[in-house]
Homo-oligomer: A and B are copies of this chain.
Amino acid sequence: MKIRTENGIKEMRAVWMENDNVVMIDQRYLPNELKIFVARDHSDIHYAIKEMVVRGAPTIGATAAYGVAQAAIKGSDIGEAARHIESARPTAYDLFHAVKCMLSADNGDLLKAAEAYANDVVDKCRSIGEHGAELIDHGARILTHCNAGALATVDHGTALAPIRAAHCKGREVFVFVDETRPRLQGMRLTAWELNNEGIPHAIIADNAAGHFMQRGEVDMVIVGTDRIAANGDIANKIGTYEKAVVARENGIPFYVAAPVTTYDPHTQSGMDIPIEERPPSEVLDMEGASVYPPGSTARNPAFDITPASHITAFITEKGIFTPGKMGNMF
């Protein structure tokens, strides 16, 4: 991804390996500071995933893969490292998929396997961008939720990849960026990526998405996903479900962009996907300010389930598939 710095534009990934360290952009400090987090062992990797130094299913997967490789390089118990890394978060299928890939790879060259895993993610996202760009007309106004950008997917993004690709082809696009409470990944990260690329956009309160859809100001919605169930239901950042319902109400196409590996054939339906409830403090603490009454608490589900019936199509590295035709993805 392009990153505008004081010294010009740099090309960077969300996570990579430097010697025997796993190095990543610390997404908790964006957009104000470009800080780098260095993981020296699987405890650091576990922390980075759990505390959301990195987030986004594909980036979590690549970080986990590098973490297993690092354990091998450092002579740690690979099985123990894998189990610890895997336990960091419960919802993203990529995390389990990446660890499984690494455990079945040639033990002699796990670094090569991890690099291949990360490169494969990036290649897939590039392809998602190419396929998805075909859906984006000149002048399109696109709404997106959370950050399914390069930060979430090592590079390019899933939901943002088609937008990047359409922009590169010279098509005018405008992006409504849901701020995405409680963690504001839209305001912090998606807006930051769009700024770096020079793509016109406006941040909106999550509450305002429906209004702009109702007024005919949104032509399409593109989101990412953390897991696709066998029946085509998806888990994604809390709020995705509301946007899908309102998009359908207004006849607006609702696309889910994801690599095929996000598909989990072992989970029958979205209702079988465990939904992580994160700490109330994420809702209650507003960037360090306390504006809730003492005595109140919060509930904080991090994901919700959007039923297949509300998804127009999946944008994958293998092409565009309606939920009924997902079998053709393989």
Stretch with Cβ within 8 A of B (4 or more), from A93-101, A158-166, A198-206, A314-322: A198-206
Known interface pairs A31-B293, A206-B239; A286-B286 also in contact (CB < 8 Å) = yes
Q: Does residue A207 face the partner (Cβ distance < 8 Å to B)?
A: yes
> Which B residues touch A205, using CB under 8 A?
181-182, 206, 238-239, 283, 300
> Which B residues touch A280, using CB under 8 A?
203
> Which B residues touch A191, using CB under 8 A?
292-293, 296
> Which B residues touch A283, using CB under 8 A?
179, 203-205
Known interface pairs A191-B293, A300-B208; A214-B241 also in contact (CB < 8 Å) = yes
Q: Does residue A6 face the partner (Cβ distance < 8 Å to B)?
A: no
Is B292 touching A188 in the complex (CB atoms < 8 A)?
Answer: yes
Q: Does residue A109 face the partner (Cβ distance < 8 Å to B)?
A: no
CB nearest neighbor in B for A198: B295
Q: Does residue A249 face the partner (Cβ distance < 8 Å to B)?
A: yes
Is A295 touching B195 in the complex (CB atoms < 8 A)?
Answer: yes
For chain A residues 228-271, which have a beta carbon within 8 Å of chain B?
A: 237-239, 241-242, 245-246, 249
> Which B residues touch A290, using CB under 8 A?
32
Is B207 touching A206 in the complex (CB atoms < 8 A)?
Answer: yes
Interface residues of A (CB under 8 A from B): 31-32, 176-177, 179-182, 184, 187-188, 191-192, 194-195, 201-212, 214, 237-239, 241-242, 245-246, 249, 275, 280, 283-284, 286-301, 304-305
Q: Which 8 A-B pairs have the closest CB atoms?
A: A207-B239, A287-B289, A210-B242, A31-B293, A211-B304, A191-B296, A203-B298, A181-B205
